[in-house]
Amino acid sequence: MLSKRVRNLKPSAVMALGARAKKLKNQGVDVISLSLGEPTWKTPESICAAGIQAIKEGYTRYTPAGGSEKLKQAIISYTKKWLGLNITSAQVTASIGAKFILFSAIQSLCNPDEEVLIPTPCWVSYPSMVELAQARMVPVPTYAKDHFKLKSDILKKHITDKSKILILNSPNNPSGAVLNKSDLMSLGKVLIDHPQIYVLSDDIYNHLYFSGSMAPHILQLYPDLKDRVLSINAASKNYSMPGWRLGWAVGNEELIGAMSKFQSQSVSCASSISQEAVAYALAQCDKELEEARYNLIKMKNLALSTFQKIKGLEVFPPEGAFYLWVNVKKLYSSSWKKGMINSSADFVEALFQEKAVLCVPGEEFHYPGYVRIHFAVDEQTWLSACDRIESFISSLS
């Protein structure tokens, strides 16, 4: 009965793991979920107040498919301030989270069999989005020795005449790697030589950067690429608003127009209430952005120092986002109560069954051997999780 397309589709592993943890918690199991990537701190008060005010003032109707003019103006000012670009409202579209923005960009750009270059490890949903567009994912590996940064010579080797899109995601989910100016300079040079390639720059963690208020961006270095680089962002991570479901993109007018058309025939528009709240956040909440960054840096320092002490694990120090990317290969061939650990998926399952700590195996990010551990939780939760992980590892034989 179901279409082949949907039969072959995998559910999002992080959403599934998040739901698994919530279900068990509701049944009274003492689960520590370090799987679903969302800040545990609340949306700042003043942004919530802007949302409530929007309801009271009657912002409860459809908006244009690409978002209200007020939100677009806030995105235009944000883009000028942070990326130094002057854009018009025809170059902005907003929708239901960065996820739907990415989905509609891939649908709007790809013909069947065209290739999408995706540096790995990569966020769980990019490959499925490419598959749903009947395009082809081309994994471009990054390596620990390069701090999981995409290298221009490796990128070059994967480009063919079918290459249509390159996805950049810096700070990166899951590795926490950040492309610095010199990495971006080298990648930009390759892109200049391949004018058929569009870049989807997934900037969703751009302010969750540990060395400054925003991670370096390719458009700051190569503003002339602006017609081929779609900058994608959302309020979900930076402003702790994942449930408000509001993301946006700025870029080439033709592509933005196509995405807005696609949205008008699929989801109509993002929530009018969220649009008002995010317009407020973008215009008024730089202080809250800095506070979130400061909290996160504190948690990152704690996460790293506690994890580096756990024997058997090798931790990659993140430069942004809120994940630890941990090599578990040294634990291969050890055994627990119910079997052996021979993969990162085995490690995650055994840890969950033994200690009720849930994280995400590297297999889901096209990178076996590693595990993603979300650290934007409160200190107490983190310390308990570390105790459990340490005790699990010492129980292995």
8-state DSSP, 150: P
* Beta carbon nearer to ligand PMP, 280 or 392: 280
Binding to ligand GLU (CB under 6 A) within 122-181 occurs at 123, 125, 173
Residues contacting ligand GLU: total by CB under 6 A? 10
Is residue 63 within 8 Å of residue 269, measured between CB atoms? yes
- Rounded CA gap, 360 and 378, in Å? 19
* Beta carbon nearer to ligand PMP, 35 or 236: 236
C-beta atoms surrounding 189 within 10 Å: 12
* Beta carbon nearer to ligand GLU, 38 or 354: 38
Residue 99 found at the interface with ligand PMP (CB under 6 A): yes
Beta bridge partners of 202: 169, 232
* Beta carbon nearer to ligand GLU, 11 or 223: 11
* Beta carbon nearer to ligand PMP, 122 or 341: 122
* Interface residue with ligand PMP, options 31, 98, 326, 373 (CB under 6 A): 98
* DSSP 3-state of 270: coil
Binding to ligand PMP (CB under 6 A) within 8-47 occurs at 37
Is residue 72 within 8 Å of residue 94, measured between CB atoms? yes
- Rounded CA gap, 232 and 249, in Å? 4
Helix axes 125-132, 97-109, angle to 10 degrees: 40
Q: Which helix (H) or strand (E) holds 168?
A: strand 163-169
Choosing among ligand PMP, ligand GLU, none, which partner's interface includes residue 115 (Cβ < 5 to 8 Å by kind)?
A: none
Residue 320 found at the interface with ligand PMP (CB under 6 A): no
Is residue 329 within 8 Å of residue 181, measured between CB atoms? no
Q: What is the x/- site pattern for ligand GLU, positions 26-65, by CB under 6 A?
A: ----------xxx---------------------------
> What is the DSSP pairing of strand 136-141 with strand 115-120?
parallel
Q: What is the x/- site pattern for ligand PMP, positions 225-244, by CB under 6 A?
A: ---------x-x-----x--
* DSSP 3-state of 209: strand
Contact positions vs ligand GLU (CB under 6 A) = 12, 14-15, 36-38, 99, 123, 125, 173
Chain contacts with ligand PMP (rule: CB under 6 A): 37, 97-99, 123, 169, 173, 202, 204, 234, 236, 242, 247
